Chain A
């Protein structure tokens, strides 16, 4: 009787071990653990950044009828104001505070901390926060056209 119980116990242990192993392998195959999770997060951030970039280059702000990116560049290039987040577009439009428009706009697309930097031959200006150390940082870089056949660079960091 004792031997039968022992036998049953071993069979149960074998069966349980196999089930746990199969479940583990299926889970492992399905998610590949942390690596896949990281890829999924990265993919989501990439999608967020891509749709943000599309909107920056293709959506216009109603007040000035300019693309968001155009306004950001104009503010960096202008020499009227000391502050490089303000830009004057003439009597018909007035002065636009780019920071007040761009920061909430980007916030709608990106939930983490972010920093947008525009680099031109004459000046560089950033919006957003510096990303603190220790965080996983995702970066996006692209060339941007500037007036008079010049080019600059846009850097976007998310962390």
Chain B
């Protein structure tokens, strides 16, 4: 029995020493290591928050850019675009449209950025993106280079920091999106070419010169619509234009002249106005349909009485119209809150002309008994018939 005490004591002592060593190892080195692992895990979680944010921003840029493009197309290339035809061609420039797109894309992108949060017990501090840039140049846009998209959008200088009691991490953010299958610049280009050809303005000028009125102006709108549709049809049948909507019609005659005129001048005080292109600060109202115009139509007819012996004279014809031309692209749908929808491009055109001395009218001649002849009262040189 006595001989067993030594090995058993040795066994107990050895086991105690090993356990004590293990205990001390874990207590000092192990705790330190565990705290290191914990910190690494926290940093890892913070990095994951940033990685999730980057994923979120990638999709946010998709929606921001498509929303800006969709709204710009609906408003006519600017926010809001004015009249693309004002007697002559006056479309917005590619650079202006691009600058406005950049402004709105940055605005929407920062809204999405502001929404981002995490359920983890960390503090997120964000600094908005400075700007989003479109990789577009005027020549390319007007020569069809970006007809189907295929350009970069780059948003830069956003900042995020994630902090907790144990650690803090910080990163500068930059998000790129290569936009494809969006035909904003195709629609812009065709409308641009259509506006430059100016079928609408030229036709209304012809109407004015031929003393035409409302029906002639409506005919011009139809002619311009056909020209627009034909221009799209050259590239396929995916773009459908709607019949032009009349926003304003104004027709007046007046003034007397003895000779026929043959020029179209700007009718400055017409009810149909030309409006310049603007890029206003983003606001909620853009989400609904927007038109800078109020509907108004006016038609004033003047009747001239005449008798048996008459002579001709000429009066001024004033004719003005504003129509809205809308086309939808059914080739590629773009994101909206109701799912993918066609891209709708809307453009306003105004022509407002006064054509002095183009409407032929007649008045009764005065009979001069002594000379036995008829004389035209206002235009004595004009023949009485």
Q: Which residues of A contact B (CB under 8 A)?
A: 3, 6-7, 10-11, 13-14, 17-18, 21-22, 25, 29, 50, 53-54, 56-58, 64-65, 67, 69-70, 74-75, 77-80, 87-93, 122, 141-151
Contacts and interface: CB of A to CB of B under 8 A. Distances in A.
Contacts of B19: 21
A152 B333 CA distance: 21
Contact of A58 (B11, B14, B55, B336): B55
B67 A144 contact: no
A25 B4 CA distance: 27
B211 to A, nearest CB: 45
Interface stretch (B83-91, B114-122, B252-260, B362-370): B114-122
6 contacts: A7-B7, A25-B18, A54-B51, A89-B332, A143-B116, A147-B66
A3 B338 contact: no
Given A14-B10, A148-B67, A77 B333 contact: no
Contact of A53 (B55, B181, B339): B55
Given A65-B180, A145-B63, A58 B58 contact: yes
A29 B22 CA distance: 9
B63 A147 contact: yes
Contacts of A13: 7, 11
Nearest to A26: B22
Given A141-B119, A144-B59, A145-B63, A90 B330 contact: yes
Q: Binding site of B, secondary structure by majority: helix, strand, loop or mixed?
A: helix
Given A17-B11, A75-B339, A143-B117, 19 more contacts: A6-B4, A14-B10, A17-B15, A50-B51, A54-B51, A64-B181, A65-B181, A74-B335, A90-B238, A90-B333, A93-B333, A122-B337, A142-B52, A143-B56, A145-B112, A146-B337, A148-B67, A149-B67, A149-B111
B115 A145 contact: yes
A146 B181 CA distance: 19
Interface string B113-150: 00111010000000000000000000000000000000
Contacts of A65: 180-181
Interface string B313-354: 000000000000000011111011111101000000000000
